[in-house]
A = this chain, B = another copy of it.
Amino acid sequence: MSEHTYKMIELVGSSHTSIEDAVKNAVARAAVDEKKLRWLEVLETRGHIEDGKIAHWQVTVKIGATLD
């Protein structure tokens, strides 16, 4: 935690079950491309509705990753 620089990436994760799972899916996808993910911030929570029910959650997150 010295003089690092971090880059912030913004993703929208989706899940049929919960807000937490939507965030986890976004983090899991980010981890494919970026090795050193450090923290996340939830920006926006939305949901898609079908037949009067929430079909899936869509959560926008900013994720911070250490730049080498």
Q: Tell me the A residues contacting B by CB distance below 8 Å.
A: 1-16, 18-20, 23-31, 37-42, 44-49, 52-57, 60, 62-64, 67
Contact = CB atoms under 8 A, between A and B. Distances in A.
A39 B31 contact: no
Contacts of A13: 5
A40 B54 contact: yes
A24 B64 contact: no
- The A interface is mostly helix, strand or loop, or mixed, namely strand
Give the residue among A5, A15, A25, A56 with the most B Cβ atoms within 10 A: A5
A19 B19 contact: yes
Given A11-B7, A42-B45, A46-B40, A24 B54 contact: yes
